[in-house]
């Protein structure tokens, strides 16, 4: 559908990422900082002014369902899994809580239903990376990064993001430090500790534990700028959190630590990078679903080193 205009409705904190996604033509920012129980009326007016032909709601809420219906959008599609589904005139039955496929596949299923309803053959699925920066710009950024930290061009740059934003259970900073210490490569390793808003304490605690290992703390100036830095990485290590999925979209190799809880499994929140560029670790079967302390980080470091750090 080359003639289509794709607009993403996003909250302010993800708007910078949506703005750099090549498949999105424009964005609408849904600022709910002063939201009330009738805020959906404001959103409905905002949507009505755009004269949309269709809406595909990937994550359904009552507020968005009310707003899209009141905006008079002719074709409205959402998962048929919540009470809000009855405000949509097109629905697709999904059981996301079963975690039988990745979250992005559930979203693709909705898009494919939309195309089928309009008798449009889906285009072949693209391959990673799904987020790109201009090669010359990225080469320059990597060179500037190495210059800034006096790194040899062949050094392996490893990002560790110890925060989780409360999105899922995570390793402790002590585990991340033990993991970093156990990694091995023929090339020198340089660790970048990613730090989002409110995560300074964890980043500083991890930095203190890394001791003599070469490292720095990268305090982000915004999510899109952080994405450009992640693109410089040879490896990204974290729990199941937003920056991990940015790394996956960039096809940067990832090593991720997930709980075994069904709603938070490695399959449900699988990253978008190529299969050979991702590793996932969970607590052993005999441990509690969220007992991240039971993960053997030394064994994980050995697996990560074999997969990503030896040539």
**Structure confidence by residue, pLDDT tens digits, 160-169:** 999 877 666 8
The mean-pLDDT minimum among 36-45, 170-179, 267-276 falls in 36-45
CB 301, CB 309: distance < 8 Å:
no
Q: What span, in angstroms and rounded, lies between the C-alpha atoms of 42 and 150? A: 51
H, E, C per residue of 40-102: HHHHHHHHHCCCCCEEECCCCCHHHHHHHHHCCCCEEEEECCCHHHHHCCEEECCCHHHCCCC
Identify the pLDDT of residue 229.
92
- Angle at 75 (CA atoms; ends 69, 80), nearest 5 degrees: 75
* pLDDT, greater one: 124 or 255: 255
Put the strands of the sheet holding 75-79 in their side by side order. Answer: 54-56, 75-79, 90-92
More confident of the two residues 77 and 34? 77
Joined together, the tokens standing for residue 203 give 């980043």
How far apart, in whole angstroms, are the C-alpha atoms of residue 28 and residue 46? 9
Residue 301 pLDDT: 98
Print burial letters for 19-39: b (CB count within 10 Å at least 16), e (below 16).
eeeeeeeebbebeeeeeeeeb
Average pLDDT over residues 77-102: 91
Confidence (pLDDT) at 219: 86
Given a cut of 80, is residue 33 above it in pLDDT?
Answer: no
**Mean per-residue pLDDT, 191-213:** 92
pLDDT value at position 220?
A: 80
| Mean of pLDDT values over 127-152 | 88
Q: What pLDDT, on a 0 to 100 scale, did the predictor assign at position 281?
A: 97
Residue 211: predicted pLDDT: 92
pLDDT value for 167:
62
284-304 average pLDDT score: 95
pLDDT, residue 166, reads 65
On whether the CB atoms of residues 189 and 183 are closer than 8 A, the answer is: yes
Measured CA angle at 285 (ends 280, 290), to 5 deg? 70
Do residues 111 and 56 touch, judged by C-beta distance below 8 A?
yes
Q: How many CA atoms lie within 13 A of 108 on its CB side?
A: 11
Q: Is the pLDDT of residue 53 over 90?
A: yes
pLDDT band at 236 (very low <50, low <70, confident <90, very high): very high
Q: Which residues pair with 90 in a beta bridge?
A: 77
What is the pTM (predicted TM-score) of this model? 0.93
Q: Taken in order 106, 17, 235, 153, is the CA torsion positive or negative?
A: positive
What gap in Å lies between CA 191 and CA 203, rounded to an integer?
A: 12
Q: State the average pLDDT over residues 274-286.
A: 96
What is the pLDDT at residue 151? 87
């Amino acid at each position: 559908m080359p003639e289509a205009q794709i607009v993403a409705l996003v909250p302010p904190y993800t708007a910078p990422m949506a703005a750099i996604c090549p498949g999105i033509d424009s964005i609408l920012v849904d600022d709910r900082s002063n939201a009330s129980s009738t805020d959906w009326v404001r959103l409905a007016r905002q949507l009505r002014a755009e004269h949309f032909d269709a809406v595909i709601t990937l994550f359904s809420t009552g507020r968005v369902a009310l707003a899209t219906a009141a905006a008079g959008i002719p074709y409205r599609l959402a998962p048929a899994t919540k009470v809000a589904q009855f405000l949509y005139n097109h629905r697709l039955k999904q059981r996301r809580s079963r975690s039988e496929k990745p979250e992005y596949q559930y979203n693709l299923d909705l898009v494919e239903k939309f195309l089928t309803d309009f008798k449009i053959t889906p285009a072949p699925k693209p391959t990673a990376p799904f987020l790109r920066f201009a090669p010359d710009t990225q080469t320059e950024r990597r060179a500037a990064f190495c210059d800034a930290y006096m790194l040899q061009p062949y050094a392996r740059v490893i990002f560790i993001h110890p925060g989780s934003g409360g999105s899922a259970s995570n390793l402790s900073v002590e585990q991340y430090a033990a993991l970093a210490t156990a990694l091995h490569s023929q090339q020198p390793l340089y660790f970048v500790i990613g730090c989002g808003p409110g995560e300074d304490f964890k980043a500083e605690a991890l930095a203190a534990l890394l001791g003599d290992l070469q490292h720095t703390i990268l305090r982000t100036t915004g999510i899109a700028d952080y994405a450009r830095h992640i693109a410089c990485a040879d490896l990204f290590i974290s729990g199941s959190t937003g920056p991990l999925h940015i790394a996956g979209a960039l096809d940067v190799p990832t090593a991720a630590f997930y709980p075994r809880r069904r709603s938070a499994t490695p399959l449900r929140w699988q990253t978008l990078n190529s299969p050979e560029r991702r590793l996932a670790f969970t607590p052993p079967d005999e441990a509690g679903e969220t007992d991240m302390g039971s993960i053997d980080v030394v064994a994980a470091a050995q697996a990560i080193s074999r997969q990503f750090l030896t040539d």
